[in-house]
Structure formats: structure tokens, C-alpha cells
Structure 1
Amino acid sequence: MNQELSNQQQRGIKLTIIAIVVFILVVMLLFLNKILTPRHLSAIELQVNGAVQFEQPRRFKDFTLVDHQNVPFDRDRLVGQWTLVFFGFTHCPDICPTTMATLSQWYTKLPTDLQKNTQVVLVTVDPARDSVDVLAQYVPYFHPDFLGVTGDFLSIKRFANQLNVAFTKVMQGEDYTVDHSAIVGLVNPKGDYHAFFKPPLEPNKLTLTYSSIRNSFQFD
């Protein structure tokens, strides 16, 4: 009887241990799933971290510009990957090089698979001075994958208007500069204006918001 009771107790102990182990494994799996599953930030959380996502992405009207490799740059070049668009110019003394350097730092740290599906574009707001050759010297300095884009003034202005980016020429004696918005627009793989990032950019926040926006996107 004592031996039988002892066997029952042993079986009970084994079952208890198994139950505890299973419970611990389930908790660990749930914890790992929570960590590994990309988090979808709410609209407020995105804004707190410097990003604004539109409720309805905005379709671009046709435009034709040219990149720093002298290849036409139009709406088709925005389809098939995510595109970050920044408007600046090569004579910009501070905001533009700072933004481009931050984008380079952020882009370099992206996983390879995300890099292949992400393009960064600088569209000049000073086409009179920023020719194809000038952009070809300037933009790849920040990263060889980055694209510089130029064109005639009106075409650039129309494209900028579609991203709600304002810029204006300001005379400084016989020289001039260009005042411009410093937001970075985000175009989704459908080629639609999806969101924008507010200045100043911070690589960690940019990674957080960009990942969330990408992971919540559905390519119908």
C-alpha cells in the first residue's frame, strides 16, 4: 500500500513538473512573440516620435524629373519600394547636410533586406545651380545608394506642392539662398504619398516609426 502510494506520489510529482515546464515554455513563447512581432504604433505614438501618417495615402499626379545619373525620374520610379524624399540643395549650409547625414546613418543601420526595399531621394530646390553633374558629386558622398533629382523649376515646384513642401528664393546681396521645408516625405510601394517625418530627424525614432508604418501597410 505504501509502495503503491509512493508510486502515485511520484507520478503526481512528474505530472506537476511537466505542467510547470509546459507553463514556463508557453510564457517564454508568448514573451518572445511579443518581442519579435513588430509593433504597430498608434497615430498619436507616431506623432510623438516625429511621424505623421495619412489616413488615406495621396496619389501623385504625373511628373518628370531627372536623377543624378541623368536617368528620367517619374512616378514609376516610386513604385515597388519605399521612398524617403527630402527637398534641399547643395549650397545649403546646415539643415540639408545634417538631414542627409542623419538619413545616411539611419539607412546604413537598416537590415540588408530593408535597404534593398528602401530608396532615399534628395530633390533639389535650387535647379539653377544643382545640375545633374553637381548632384552626382554631392549626393553619393552621403551614401552611394542615395539619389539626387533635379529638373526645371516649375516641374520641381509642382512635385514639391504634392508633398506640401514649400520653398522660396531669398536674396542675400548679389547671392541668394533658398528657404524650404525640412520634412522628409515617405512614399509607399504603390507610389503614393503615405506619411512624413518631422525635423529634426533622430535615427532611433525614424527606425521605430518607419518599421511600424511598413508593417501596417497592406499592398492590395
Structure 2
Amino acid sequence: MNRKITTILIVALATGLGLALSSRLFPPSLPGNAAPALPALEVSKVIDTPRALAPFTLQSADGALTAESLKGHWTVVFVGFTHCPDVCPTTLTDLAKAQKIWAEAKLPNAPRLLFVSIDPERDTPAGIAEYAAYFHPDTLTATAAEPQLGAFTRDLGLVYMKVPQGDSYTMDHSATLVLLNPKAEFAGLIRPPLKPDAIARDLLALTKATP
């Protein structure tokens, strides 16, 4: 019962934050305000005015990962954890299909996926990298200790919660994907259910349309 109540609470919290974030980031168009020229997108929602993120430092298997590390490419950010029984492996499997299409396009500034673990207590930078590589070897991975991790995810409009489970615990978390543009700015969202082929086409179109 406690698990069920906790799950309901985090879903409600994520929904509320998502609605608030959407109203702030995707306001109705005002007369006379022309939107920037962007390609037609199938499943991605891109905002008219990208938002700079607060400075952050995550830890990857190769060292520190900052906004500077992500510049030059469109980046899809997904948060999860390696002990995740369903959402994370399913999402990474779907995104691996998009990553394969990006790789086949052979663009020098091809889109990238960043998988951020929200379970630093169990997930080491090396462990996260090994886990993600099982799905696709080009996946960027990172995590951080608190409060840095919480500050980073909140800046993206994502939430997570540690939930006791017997003698251990699990992590409830947002399944929405966040888009960062080549300036490492918050640029949009992709909400489930995911359509890998459409995601691949959207990100390739954005890559080709963005200097």
C-alpha cells in the first residue's frame, strides 16, 4: 500500500511539474511574434526561446561532464538507474534504434544521448557506462552526488524519488526526454510513448537546421 501511495504521489508531482513547465516553456503564440524557422517535427516539442541551464558538473567514467562537454550537438537527456526493472531498459532499447539511425547518417555533429543515473548510491560512473553500452556504445553517461544531481534534474524539469522496497529500494523518476541544443541550452521535450524512428528523424532534422 505504501508503495502504491508513493507511486501515485510522484506521478501527481511529475504531472503537476510537467504542466507548470509546459505553460512556462510553451506559452501560446502572441500575434506578431513570429516563431524561429525550425523544421517540421513529428514527436519533439521545441521551444521558441531556448533557456540556458545553471552551471553543472556531473561525473562520467571519463571525468567531469559540464555544459561545455555537450556543446556542438543536439543532446537527448534521459534520467534513470541501472537497477531499473522496466522503464529504463525499455527506453534505452528504443533510443538505441534512434542512435543507430543517427550513426548511419554519418554527420560530424550527429545527435547524442546522455543517460544520467539518479541513483548515485549504487551507480558508479564506470558502472553506468558499462550498463548503457549494452544498449548502444555511443551513449554518454554520468551521475552526481546530491545536491548537485537534484539541482541539475530540477533545472530540466525532471523529478525522481527514492522508494523503499523490502530490504532495498527503487527509484521512481520522470520518463520524459529533454532536448538540449548545440549550445547546451534547454530546447524542448519528447514525451512517452516513444517512437524511435520519429525521434531519429526529428533530431536529424534539427541537426541539419542548426548551425
**Could you say whether these structures have the same fold, taking a TM-score greater than 0.5 normalized by the shorter chain as the test?**
yes
1:58 aligns with 2:51: yes
Contact 1:166–1:180 (Cα < 8 Å) also in 2: yes
What residue in structure 2 maps to residue 192 of structure 1? 185
Deviations 1:109-162 (A, max 9, x none): 223433752221100011100112311321111111112101102111111011
1:83 aligns with 2:75: yes
User: Over aligned residue pairs, what C-alpha RMSD do you find?
Assistant: 1.8
What residue in structure 1 maps to residue 39 of structure 2? 40
1:95 aligns with 2:94: no
What residue in structure 2 maps to residue 122 of structure 1? 115
Q: Give the drift of 1:93.
A: 0.5
Q: Which amino acid aligns with 2:47?
A: F
Deviations 1:89-123 (A, max 9, x none): 00001110111111111111223433752221100
What residue in structure 1 maps to residue 11 of structure 2? none
Q: What is the number of residues matched between the two proteins?
A: 173
Q: Give the drift of 1:187.
A: 0.8
Q: Which amino acid aligns with 2:65?
A: F
Instruction: Could you tell me which runs of 5 or more consecutive residues in structure 1 were left unpaired when the two chains were aligned.
Output: 1-38
Partners of 2:106 and 2:179 lie apart in 1 by: 18
Deviations 1:40-75 (A, max 9, x none): 21xxxx4xx432111210101101111123x11011
Q: Which amino acid aligns with 1:57?
A: P
Partners of 1:40 and 1:91 lie apart in 2 by: 37
Partners of 1:181 and 1:58 lie apart in 2 by: 20
Q: Which amino acid aligns with 1:172?
A: Q
Partners of 2:133 and 2:39 lie apart in 1 by: 33
Partners of 2:184 and 2:165 lie apart in 1 by: 38
Q: Give the drift of 1:216.
A: 4.2
Spell out structure 1 runs of 4+ moving beyond 3 A: 211-217
Bigger radius of gyration: 1
Contact 1:68–1:150 (Cα < 8 Å) also in 2: no
1:146 aligns with 2:143: no
Say if 1:116 and 1:213 are closer, same or farther in 2 by CA, change over 3 A.
closer
Deviations 1:3-59 (A, max 9, x none): xxxxxxxxxxxxxxxxxxxxxxxxxxxxxxxxxxxx921xxxx4xx43211121010
TM-score (structure 2 length as normaliser)? 0.76
SS in structure 2 of the partner of residue 153 of structure 1: coil
Of the three residues 104, 108, 130, the one matched with 2:96 is 104
Q: Which amino acid aligns with 1:182?
A: A
Partners of 2:155 and 2:107 lie apart in 1 by: 26
Contact 1:60–1:162 (Cα < 8 Å) also in 2: yes
Q: How do 1:11-50 residues align onto structure 2 when only pairs under 5 Å count?
A: 40-41=39-40, 46=41, 49-50=42-43
Task: State the percentage of identical aligned residues.
Answer: 34
Deviations 1:147-193 (A, max 9, x none): 21011021111110111001111111221111111111111111111
